[in-house]
Amino acid sequence: WRLGAGFVLPARSAAAGSEARAAADLAAEASPRRRDALAAAAAALLVAGAPGQVRAEQQLLSFNDEVIIGPPSKLQRVVVNVGDKQALAKELKFWTGALKMQKLGEYVDAAGLESTVVGFPSEGKEGAFGMEFKVDPAVLTRKPASILNYNVMQPFVNSLNFVQVGFRGKAMEAFKAVQASGGDSLIGDAQYLDVESPRGVQMRMAMRKEGEPAVELVGLNVEVTNFEDAKRFYIRTLGFKEIPYPEDEPSVQPLSVLLEPQSGPRLLLSPIPVGRLKELDLDEFENLVAVAPDVQATQRAAEKAMEAAAKEDAGKEEKLKFLLQQATQDSERDKVRAAIELRRRNGNGVKPSIQASGSTVLFNDGVGNMISLVSASDFSKSLQSVQPA
């Protein structure tokens, strides 16, 4: 599924920021009397990692969420790039062999780039969620994404965290299927198996005793400074609802948020420390495709959500300044100052944006992930025009 003639996806850019440098500079800029306390406060937030920073923001900053809800939309595609047809063949072997997906269709966009979509036909061809693999020769000439953040000696992670599929069978059966299909098994137990496709797409195979196989969940990694804003954007724009993560499901990052659409796969947002995302314009994840009953109404909801987010962003600064004035203890002031500094240094990431081309609307969710939004009727027409699978 492409965006239409003459419409090009803008490059996804990684937000700048270094945790270690932020903590060091914060201590250096403080007065000698306060330097040690401020450094300790900032370090406490950084050492706590993503969950600690999310908790800190939730404790210091809270808002009465005004009701801005777009029409209920559903996730329809995850689009992944590959460099050539050989890489495409390897990817298709994995998804059809290990996961038992089937080819749903082949597409050619306005730029002449070919895509192949696989999914589970049991969901119905028009309603089936699909993994779309786009052959883009430009991938072969890009420099590889950085693997390790040397400032904190931690690996970079993809913005596409993982895609979860319900697998009818046992973990050992899944392991054998993955190994025979060119994938890599990473970690798991009797309940699940985390694997990686030849292109590097992370997959979670959740063992199910009954039911048809289906894509159950799409997970995104979101830097903590933009986590709450990103969550509100999906709720307000696409009409998703926040629900508790099931206790009997495989574990996820603490303080992750599970969002449920009216139908189709759920969306999991997981907080990660600032500076840990791979360069978004170099990884394999292109964009999401979502289907809405009323694209124009969704666009209006997105515009209102962006206005509300801008007001909230200004409100955060004012509230932190107010908390600093009201603090009576050194420890309280240090905590607020550390939050202000971390927000100033690491909170200047990508902001939500909207571009329209005909009946398609392209959203940037505010953290660099692109969502192509189309109407159900236009999506159905695109299926009718593809080459037979």
Q: Please report the pLDDT score of residue 381 as a whole number.
A: 66
Buried b (16+ CB within 10 A) or exposed e, 41-78: bbbebbeebbbbbbbbbeebbeeeeeebebbbbbbbbb
Give Rg (Cα) of the chain.
22
Q: Please report the pLDDT score of residue 103 as a whole number.
A: 93
Give mean pLDDT, residues 353-361: 81
Separation of alpha carbons 218 and 162, rounded Å: 6
Separation of alpha carbons 270 and 284, rounded Å: 19
Give mean pLDDT, residues 138-161: 85
- The answer to whether 26 and 338 are in contact (CB under 8 A) is yes
> Which residues does 67 contact at the CB level (< 8 Å), separation at least 6?
none
Residue 313 pLDDT exceeds 90: no
pLDDT band per the 50, 70, 90 thresholds, residue 42: very low
> Which residues does 42 contact at the CB level (< 8 Å), separation at least 6?
22, 23, 26, 27, 338, 341, 342
Mean pLDDT over the full length of the chain: 79
Q: Please report the pLDDT score of residue 55 as a whole number.
A: 52
- The answer to whether 82 and 136 are in contact (CB under 8 A) is yes
Comparing CA positions, the residue from 118, 124, 93, 122 lying closest to residue 104 is 118
Instruction: Give the 3-state secondary structure of the chain.
Output: CCCCCCCCCCCCCCCCCCHHHHHHHHHHHCCHHHHHHHHHHHHHHHHCHHHHHHHHHHHHCCCCCCCCCCCCCEEEEEEEEECCHHHHHHHHHHHHHCCCCEEEEEEECCCCCEEEEEECHHHCCCCCCEEEEEECHHHHHCCCCCCEECCCCEECECCEEEEEEEEECCHHHHHHHHHHCCCEEEEECCCEEEEECCCCCEEEEEEECCCCCEEEEEEEEEEHHHHHHHHHHHHHHHCCEEECCCCCCCCCCCCCEEEECCCCCEEEEEEECCCCECCCCCCCEEEEEEEECCHHHHHHHHHHHHHHHHHHHHHHHHHHHHHHHHCCCHHHHHHHHHHHHHHHHHCCCCCCEEEEECCEEEEECCCCCEEEEEEHHHHHHHHHCCECC
Give mean pLDDT, residues 136-140: 94
Separation of alpha carbons 258 and 235, rounded Å: 11
Residue 196 pLDDT exceeds 80: yes
pLDDT band per the 50, 70, 90 thresholds, residue 88: very high
Q: Please report the pLDDT score of residue 351 as a whole number.
A: 74
Q: Please report the pLDDT score of residue 25 as a whole number.
A: 42
